[in-house]
């Protein structure tokens, strides 16, 4: 007969195997922290280089007025947002890879593939929609779309990683909806959603799981 400690070990193994096979646990809080910092740096870069230090709050950043004169600016903003996205994703992959090595876990597993698919279906949909909105001159909807579709991606992907990601997704969606109500403050909501929320979440998750 097995002793009680053997049963305890059985249960521990069951829980560990279930968790590792159904959730991607190598996501690092540092990914969030640095993604947030990159977003804020990107916004600051846009404000100082493109706008020459004039922070366009009134008049509406990405709002529909004065379309012609802002046209060249808008494509710069969109291109820069894309660069920020690629850098942020790159940083996430880098820190997740590092963490998986530390934890001795594989990074390319059935669950990490599912995580990526569930994240990227809403993300790519949003990306295509943003291009359509751009060409149809619905600029005031671009920032809300970025936040909302990113949030939907996180809500979707949250099933395959830490639960916190699900709630981060809900906050991003809320931020996106608010930015649709107040389009004049689009850039503020963008900095809050992609910058501050990432930094706060990244730090909180780093403290909770990695120290």
Partner 1 sequence: MKIDISGLNKFFENRVRLGIMSILVVNDSYDFNNLKEALGVTDGNLASHLKALEENGLIKSSKQFIGRKPNTSYYATEAGRQKFSVHLKALEEIINSQ
Residue of 47, 51, 98, 109 interacting with partner 1 (CB under 8 A): 109
Q: Which two tokens stand for residue 91?
A: 């940083």
In the complex, least distance from residue 121 CB atom to partner 1, rounded to whole angstroms: 18
CB 146 within 8 A of CB 122: no
Site string for partner 1, 67-106 (x = CB under 8 A): ---------------------------------------x
Q: Give min distance, CB of 3 to partner 1, in A.
A: 9
- Quote the CA–CA distance of 141 and 93 in Å, as a whole number: 29
Neighbours of 133 (CB within 10 A): 16
Report the distance separating Cα 185 and Cα 23, nearest Å: 37
Torsion, Cα 209 83 81 48, to 10 degrees, reads: 100
Query: Are the CB atoms for 171 and 151 separated by under 8 Å?
Result: yes
User: Cα separation of 62 and 55, whole Å?
Assistant: 12
CB nearer to partner 1: pick between 4 and 211: 4
Q: How far is the CB of 2 from partner 1 (least distance, A)?
A: 7
**Residue numbers 137-166 binding partner 1 by CB under 8 A:** none
Q: Which of residues 4-23 bind partner 1 (CB under 8 A)?
A: 4, 7-8, 10-11, 13-14, 17-18, 20-22
**Is the Cβ of residue 99 or residue 198 nearer to partner 1 in the bound state?**
99
Segments in the chain forming alpha helices (H) = 4-22, 29-45, 67-103, 110-135, 142-157, 164-181, 186-190, 197-209
If the CB atoms of residues 20 and 80 are measured against partner 1, the closer one turns out to be 20
Give whichever of 114 and 138 is closer to partner 1, judged by the CB atom.
114
Give the shortest CB-7-to-partner 1 separation in angstroms: 5
Is 59 an interacting residue with respect to partner 1 (CB under 8 A)?
no
Nearest to 158 by CA among 99, 95, 202, 114: 114
Which residues sit at the interface with partner 1, rule CB under 8 A? 1-2, 4, 7-8, 10-11, 13-14, 17-18, 20-22, 106, 109-111
């Amino acid at each position: 007969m097995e002793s009680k400690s053997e049963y305890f070990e059985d249960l521990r193994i069951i829980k560990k195997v279930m968790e590792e096979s159904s959730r991607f646990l190598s996501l690092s809080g540092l990914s969030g922290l640095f993604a947030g910092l990159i977003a804020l740096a990107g916004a600051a870069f846009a404000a100082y280089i493109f706008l020459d230090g004039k922070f366009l709050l009134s008049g509406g950043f990405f709002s529909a007025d004065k379309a012609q004169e802002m046209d060249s600016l808008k494509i710069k903003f969109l291109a820069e947002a894309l660069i920020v996205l690629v850098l942020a994703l790159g940083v996430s992959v880098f820190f997740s890879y590092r963490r998986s090595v530390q934890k001795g876990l594989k990074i390319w597993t059935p669950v990490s593939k599912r995580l990526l698919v569930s994240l990227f279906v809403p993300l790519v949909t949003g990306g295509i929609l943003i291009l359509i909105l751009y060409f149809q001159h619905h600029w005031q909807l671009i920032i809300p779309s970025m936040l909302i579709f990113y949030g939907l991606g996180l809500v979707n992907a949250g099933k395959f990683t830490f639960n916190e990601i699900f709630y981060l997704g809900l906050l991003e969606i809320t931020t996106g909806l608010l930015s649709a109500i107040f389009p004049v403050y689009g850039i503020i909501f963008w900095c809050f959603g992609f910058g501050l929320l990432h930094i706060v979440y990244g730090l909180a998750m780093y403290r909770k799981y990695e120290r």
